Amino acid sequence: MADSVRSYGGAGGQVAVIEDLERAARIIRSLRDLLEDAGMSLSAVESRAIEAYERGGDATRRAAERVKNALADAQVGSYGTGPVSLSAYGLGDRLRAVATHFNEAEEAAMSHVSAMTRAGGAITSMWGTGWWVTRHVWAAGVLVATPPLLMTGAPQRVAGSIRPEGLPPTTGFLNKDTAQWMAAKLDSSAVGFPATVYALAAVLSTLEGLFGEGHAITVKERETSYAARQPTGVADLMNGIQDEENRMDGSVSIETITHADGTRSFVVTIPGTEDWGLDADNPHDAQANLAAMVEQSTDAQMAVVEAMRAAGIEPGEEVMLAGHSQGGINAVALASRPEFLDEFTVTHVVTVGSPVGRMSLPPSVNVLQLEHTEDLVSGLDAVPNPNTPTRTTVERDLRYSEDPRARSLGQTIPDAHSLPAYATTGALVDAGGAGSSASAWRDSAAGFFTGETSTLKEYVPVVPSPPVAAPVDEIPRPQPSPSPGVQPEPPMAS
């Protein structure tokens, strides 16, 4: 079984190739016009040579004969202007045919798993999910039917042997494609996708305020939890993001890579959603997901900016932003803002399972987007990723991979969205097994993957503490006002 992975967009994508073909066609058209002009000039000179031949003496006629023959050869000889111009016409036709064939190949690549195979996978997944539910019901039935024996523990042991472990295998029918299809229904509604997401973000923000969630407006450096990673590829980025997500405190890490010539590059690691509540202070929360998708500024993004400032990143020093899930959304949101790019030179972005198809980016930022077909989170933007020369998407069907571990991780939604699963896909990019566009992106990012000396710093968001109320016995007590017409007694002498 071949690993089912493809890349589109980027340097080897349809748009980039068509642009190259169009550029070549323009050059050939210009060359053809020049050849036609040259042919007309040669024809005019040949007419003059013929006149000289007809009117001149013997010596003039001999010279004119040689000139006339050379001019005729320059026009109609094997490499003359006429045949070469005609070849240019044919080459233009062949370029158009290449463009047509490339479009057909691109469309075929988009369907790298047949509809019949997908239907079979959906049926298998439904059967597995049904059997999972049945076993849970059966196990519950054992406990309900044998209450007198519960004290012995026997029913619990029987139910435990029946009850399946883990989550149901739903990814065959509930995945990126179905999430994209369902989310796209908002686009056809009266409200629209952006307005709906914006409204939900506003509601969550209001609820967070009611529950007293604080806002992180700065960061502090802390003692690092991990050694410098010295990344040598995309898979190392996944492991680095996992390190930060293990902390579950909104921390952002910045790795400073010092090159042999003394210049520096930076890898900024941004975690995904870490807080699903309404009263915690971690800025990487549920509300930030929605706000970032409609390109609003969030506390999580401000934490990244403050961390980059604290790390001393100077203008002109190249930066890569790498983020998982919400982290990828925040990375793209930051890299799309001119004021951010005025302060930091972001050349590369890596998103991992992030729904960023609606978000635009300047052509100066080269993006790699990793997505799994089984990961429904990456389909929540309701649209495919843009197919441009600077945005490369690597999409992989884990369920049809040749890697047994990847196939196992592709059975459930949380596993398909997890960083261990994406690390296996990053390893394919590193090995050149994810298509020419992915390889071209990695080559463009080689300065971040040198494995040279590096240092790692971690920054954790800081939420200002609310003002502390004064103790009750220190609060000045109001004095009663004197009754009208009654003079207050003078203070007693001590």
Query: Which strands make up the sheet holding 391-396, listed edge to edge?
Result: 5-9, 391-396, 366-372, 345-352, 318-324, 264-270, 252-258, 454-462, 218-222
pLDDT of residue 226: 86
- The HSE-up count of residue 414 (CA atoms within 13 Å, CB side) is 4
Retrieve residue 481's tokens: 């006002």
pTM of the model as a whole: 0.77
pLDDT of residue 418: 97
258 phi-psi bin (left φ>0, alpha ψ -120 to 50, beta other): beta
What integer best gives the mean pLDDT of the chain? 82
pLDDT of residue 88: 58
Whether 361 and 391 have beta carbons less than 8 Å apart is answered as yes
Whether 386 and 9 have beta carbons less than 8 Å apart is answered as yes
Residues 75, 58: Cα–Cα separation, whole Å: 26
Distance of CA 421 to the CA centre of its chain: 16
Whether 28 and 95 have beta carbons less than 8 Å apart is answered as yes
pLDDT of residue 465: 62
Q: Which of 134, 131, 102 minimizes the C-alpha distance to 15? A: 102
Retrieve residue 307's tokens: 């961390």
Q: What's the pLDDT tens digit per position in 272-306? A: 998 887 666 788 888 888 888 888 889 999 999 99
pLDDT of residue 323: 97
According to the 3-state scheme, what is the secondary structure of the chain? Answer: CCCCEEEEECCCCHHHHHHHHHHHHHHHHHHHHHHHHHHHHHHHHHHHHHHHHHHCCHHHHHHHHHHHHHHHHHHHCCCCHHHHHHHHHHHHHHHHHHHHHHHHHHHHHHCCCCHHHHHHHHHHHHHHHHHHHHHHHHHHHHHHHCHHHHHHCHHHHHHHHHCCCCCCCCCCCCCHHHHHHHHHCCCCCCCCHHHHHHHHHHHHHHHHHHCCCCCCCEEEEECCCCCCCCCCCHHHHHHHHHHHHHHCCCCEEEEEEECCCCCEEEEEEECCCCECCCCCCCCCEHHHHHHHHCCCCCHHHHHHHHHHHHCCCCCCCEEEEEEECHHHHHHHHHHCCHHHHHHCEEEEEEEECCCCCCCCCCCCCEEEEEEECCCHHHHCCCCCCCCECCEEEEEECHHHCCCHHHHHHCCCHHHHCCHHHHHHHHHHHHCCCCCHHHHHHHHHCHHHCCCCCEEEEEEEEECCCCCCCCCHHHCCCCCCCCCCCCCCCCCCCC
Q: Which of 425, 429, 389, 483 minimizes the C-alpha distance to 8? A: 389
List phi, psi (to 5°) of 8. -140, 160
Per-residue pLDDT of the chain (494 residues; tens, 9 = 90+): 357 888 888 886 655 555 555 666 666 666 666 656 666 776 776 677 677 666 666 666 677 677 767 767 766 666 666 666 666 566 666 666 666 655 555 555 555 666 777 788 889 899 989 999 999 898 898 888 888 877 888 888 888 889 988 899 999 889 999 999 998 888 778 788 888 888 888 888 888 777 767 776 789 999 888 889 899 999 999 999 999 999 888 999 999 999 999 999 999 999 999 888 766 678 888 888 888 888 888 999 999 999 999 999 999 999 999 999 999 999 999 999 999 999 999 999 999 999 999 999 999 999 999 999 999 999 999 999 998 999 999 999 999 998 999 999 999 999 999 999 999 999 999 999 998 889 999 999 999 999 998 999 999 998 776 555 555 555 555 555 555 555 555 544 44
Distance of CA 81 to the CA centre of its chain: 50
What length is written for the chain?
494
319 contact partners, CB below 8 Å, separation of at least 6: 265, 266, 267, 268, 308, 313, 344, 345, 346, 347, 348
State which amino acid sits at residue 255: E
C-alpha distances in Å from residue 269, one per residue of 73, 104, 244, 307, 324: 66, 38, 8, 11, 9
- CB-based burial label for 494 (10 Å; 0-12, 13-18, 19+): exposed
Q: Which of 481, 363, 450, 271 minimizes the C-alpha distance to 16? A: 363
Whether 288 and 334 have beta carbons less than 8 Å apart is answered as no
**Measured in Å, how far apart are the chain's first and last C-alpha atoms?**
99
Residues 385, 335: Cα–Cα separation, whole Å: 16
Residues 49, 131: Cα–Cα separation, whole Å: 93
Whether 230 and 317 have beta carbons less than 8 Å apart is answered as no
Retrieve residue 429's tokens: 């990019």
